[in-house]
Structure 1
Amino acid sequence: MANLISVAKLAGVSRATAARAFSSPENLRPETHRRVMEAARALGFRPNKVAQQLRTRATLMLGVMVPSLDNPVFAEQLQAMEEAARAAGYSLIVTTSGYDPGREEAIVEEMLRQRVDGLALTVAEADHSAVLVKLRRESTPCLLVHNPPVAPCFPSVGVDNRAAMADATRYLIARGHRRIGMIGGPLLQSDRARLRHEGYREAMEAAGLTPLALIEMPRHTQVALSRLEPALGGAEGLTAVLCTNDLLAISLIGELRRSGRSVPGDLSVMGFDGIELGRHLYPSLSTVVQPRAEFGRVAVDTLLALIRGATPQPLPLPHVLREGESAGALPASRQAPEPYDP
């Protein structure tokens, strides 16, 4: 039966180096790691993970909690996290919270019982999270993803949500829109939505325009058009709407077209996330693009640094605006008339 010594001999390395290839591959040169892995495959060797965990007192598992897997943003993030974790010798335990703070507590408690080495969490409201209060008393390293950082305990990986939505609002203003609204899911369930609404308000006020209260939908990714209808009619009706995520924007476009309205002719629509599906729609979706895969890679790297005892403070990741067909210039027929000056 193959063992670590025979793997080391075939790979031309010491037993200690072969062991590091399985326990901490990031500490080896890529070529050395490749030789050890090839030797292990040739000999049919698989390390005893349980024994390794007992020796190191580490489970080599990372707990990851996201609100939902319905939104491709989280799915793409998780794929990148899984690849980065696997390259470092770790596995992921993944679960979803449904934006439910009570479920968040139960999930984290279960992960702590499983002795995960670190936690990467997306919570509903970081500043008022009971589960984060609990984790302040725990020794397990914890990282937030998408949420704003909660100093000094929990660093965060994400974009600057306020600045990103302000950029999207300015884009619409530059296209001639003045009556711009914003829709999102339940505001109390998402600090990201709150920050994005603050960015919208700041950009509107800076342009001398009147920001509106967020028009809340029952769900984060599905539009109830009846809640938006009162703001659409008449001379003072909205000409553009910002959405707190792309799935909400896609749902809005579908509901508008089913109601006989055109996009962007009757209403321009801007999303937030940059999921690939938005490129393939007609009209294609104008949106704020978050670097979803980079979220995953940076999250794992930051969490592993925390596990090693470092104190990383990741900077906000960059966002870009992706122009699409769903947000057009304000039609001349809907522009406010110039004031009469005899």
Structure 2
Amino acid sequence: MSDLKDVARVAGVSRATAARCFASPDVVRPTTRDQVFAAARELGFRPNLLGRQLRLQTTQLIGVVVPSLLNPVFAEQFQAMERAARSRGYNLLLATTDYSAERESAVVEELLRQRVDGLVLTVTDAHSNRVLQSLSTEDTPFVLAYHQPGSTEYSAVSVDNRAGMALATRFLLDAGHRRIGMVAGPTLQSDRARQRYAGYCDAMAEHRLNAMAIIEMPSHTEADFSALVPLLSGPHAPTALVCSNDLLAISLIAELRRHGWAVPEQLSIIGFDGIAIGTQMHPTLCSVVQPIAALATTVIDQLLAQIAGAAPTSHCLPCHIRPGESTQPYEETLHDPLQ
């Protein structure tokens, strides 16, 4: 079986240079690195990463915990984080929780057993979470993604969820809508949904309008038309709805159209996340865009800084409205959709 010495001989370099190509490829000249990697392929050599990890007491692994990959926002986030981590010599281990606090505890414990060097977490509620409380006694650094924690002990990267939903609501208000409601999944499972509802209420209060009670769906990503039926008729029926995330908005549009409602002609819909698929549907989805790629890169940068010894710090990134065909001015809305 070939070893590193054989690779160095075939590549025409020293053993130390060959070792550097595998351990720290960025510090080796590209031509030399290519020679060494070509020799390794020719000889069928692969470095023993486990032995190196044991010597250095590091796995070069980052554990990532997200609620679900059914929501494309987390898939887009993971892809961008994987790219950023790989460029720094790290790999990611992924676990999903299905928005379950009990599941969060189990998957974090499993990742800690894998000896990950750090964790990226999107949890149900960052303000009262047993996982975060237990991690405070561990040596493993972690960064929260999408959360805005009140504690300065935690590192977090997010947008301002409250301000973002206020922006969405003002967008509809500026278009002339006054009867605006908000649709979300189970609000007790998500601090982000509660912050977004607060932002909706803020914008409605600015215009001296009464905020409607949150329209709660049984799932964070699937709309249930039966939950909307009591609200869709009468003098107080909404002309527009803001949704706590894009996938829920897409599902809501599908449910409305399936039951004979036209979007946006009868009801304007706006989402929150800015996932790419929203631009590929018809009507295209109007949405509050989170800078998912920038957020993912910032999360990895901050986590690696903590792994290197830096103190926790938080970042709040800007968001903006992406206009789409799912909303239109109130003046163009059909005000008597059932007649």
Question: So what's the TM-score if we normalise by structure 1?
Answer: 0.89
**Structure 1 equivalent of residue 125 of structure 2:** 125
CA drift at 1:228 = 1.7
Residue of structure 2 equivalent to 1:209: 209
Residues 125 and 190, structure 2, Cα contact 8 Å, conserved in 1: yes
> In the aligned structure 1, how far is the partner of 2:89 from the partner of 2:37?
12
CA contact (8 A) 1:155 1:312 kept: yes
1:90 alignment counterpart: 90
Change (3 A) 1:14 1:327: farther
Alpha-carbon distance in structure 2 between the residues aligned to 1:30 and 1:169? 52
Residue 60 of structure 2 corresponds to residue 80 of structure 1: no
Instruction: Please report how far the alpha carbon of residue 73 of structure 1 lies from its aligned counterpart in structure 2 after TM superposition.
Output: 0.8
1:232-254 per-residue CA deviation (whole Å, 9 max, x = no partner) reads 21122100000011111111111
SS at match of 2:22: helix
Distance change in 2, residues 1:69/1:24 (3 Å): same
Q: Pairwise mapping of residues 251-270 of structure 1 onto structure 2 (< 5 A)?
A: 251-270=251-270
Aligned to 2:237: 237
CA distance in 2, matches of 1:142, 1:38: 37
Secondary structure of 2:330's match?
Answer: coil
1:114 and 1:138 map into 2 onto residues whose CA distance is 14
Corresponding residue of 2:99: 99
* 17-26 vs 225-234, greater mean Cα deviation: 17-26
Contact 1:272/1:287 (<8 A) preserved: yes
- Name the counterpart of 1:221: 221
CA shift digits 1:106-146 (9 cap, x unpaired): 11111111111111111000001001100000000111111
* Contact preservation (8 Å) 2:239, 2:333: no
Residue matched to 1:58: 58
In structure 2, do the counterparts of structure 1 residues 261 and 320 end up closer, same or farther at CA, with 3 Å as the change threshold?
Answer: same
Tell me the CA shift for residue 89 of structure 1: 2.1
How big is the shift at 1:54?
A: 1.1
State the secondary structure of the residue aligned to 1:331. Answer: helix
The answer to whether residue 301 in structure 2 is matched with residue 301 in structure 1 is yes
Question: Any idea what SS the aligned residue of 1:227 has?
Answer: helix
Shift of 1:39: 5.4
Question: Match of 2:316, SS?
Answer: coil
**Distance change (3 Å), C-alpha of 1:28 and 1:211:** farther
User: Could you say if the C-alpha distance between residues 255 and 60 of structure 1 is closer, same or farther in structure 2, counting changes exceeding 3 Å?
Assistant: same
Give, in angstroms, the shift of residue 5 of structure 1.
Answer: 4.9
**Partner of residue 152, structure 1:** 152
Deviations 1:234-283 (A, max 9, x none): 12210000001111111111111122111111110001111222112211
Alpha-carbon spacing, 1:3–1:63, altered in 2? closer, same or farther (3 Å): same
Partner amino acid, structure 2, of 1:90 = Y
- Which residue of structure 2 lines up, in the alignment, with residue 313 of structure 1? 313
Cα offset, 1:149, TM superposition: 3.4
CA 1:189/1:333 → structure 2, altered by over 3 Å: closer, same or farther? closer
Specify the SS of the correspondent of 2:143. strand
Secondary structure at 1:171 match in 2: helix
Instruction: Please give the alpha-carbon distance, in whole angstroms, between the structure 2 residues aligned to 1:321 and 1:180.
Output: 17
Structure 1 pair 333–146 and aligned structure 2 pair: CA distance change class (3 A)? closer
- Distance in 2 between the 1:312 and 1:26 partners? 27
Q: CA RMSD in A?
A: 2.3
Contact 2:153 / 2:312 at 8 angstroms: preserved in 1? no
Q: Distance in 2 between matches of 1:26 and 1:118?
A: 22
Query: 1:124·1:190 contact (CA, 8 Å) conserved in 2?
Result: yes
1:338 matched to which residue of 2?
none
Check whether the contact 1:66–1:95 (CA below 8 A) recurs between aligned residues: yes
Instruction: Give 1:55 shift.
Output: 0.6
Match of 2:284 in 1: 284
- Normalised by the length of structure 2, the TM-score is 0.90
Q: Deviations over 1:182-223 (max 9, x none)?
A: 010000111111111111111111122211221110000111
In 2 relative to 1, CA 127–43 (structure 1 residues): closer, same or farther, beyond 3 Å? same
Structure 1: which 5+ runs fail to align? 336-342
> Which ranges in structure 2 are unaligned for 5 or more consecutive residues?
none
For residues 256 and 9 of structure 1, the distance between their equivalents in structure 2, rounded to whole angstroms, comes to 68
- Is 39-48 or 20-29 further displaced after alignment? 20-29
Contact 1:25/1:89 (8 A) holds in 2:
no
Is the 2:266–2:334 contact (alpha carbons within 8 Å) kept by the matching residues of 1?
no
The letter of the residue matching 2:242 is L
Map of 1:329 onto structure 2? 329
Distance in 2 of aligned mates of 1:252 and 1:138: 42
Deviation at 1:313, TM superposition (A): 2.4
Corresponding residue of 1:339: none
Task: Summarize the alignment of residues 153-232 of structure 1 with structure 2, pairs less than 5 Å apart.
Answer: 153-232=153-232
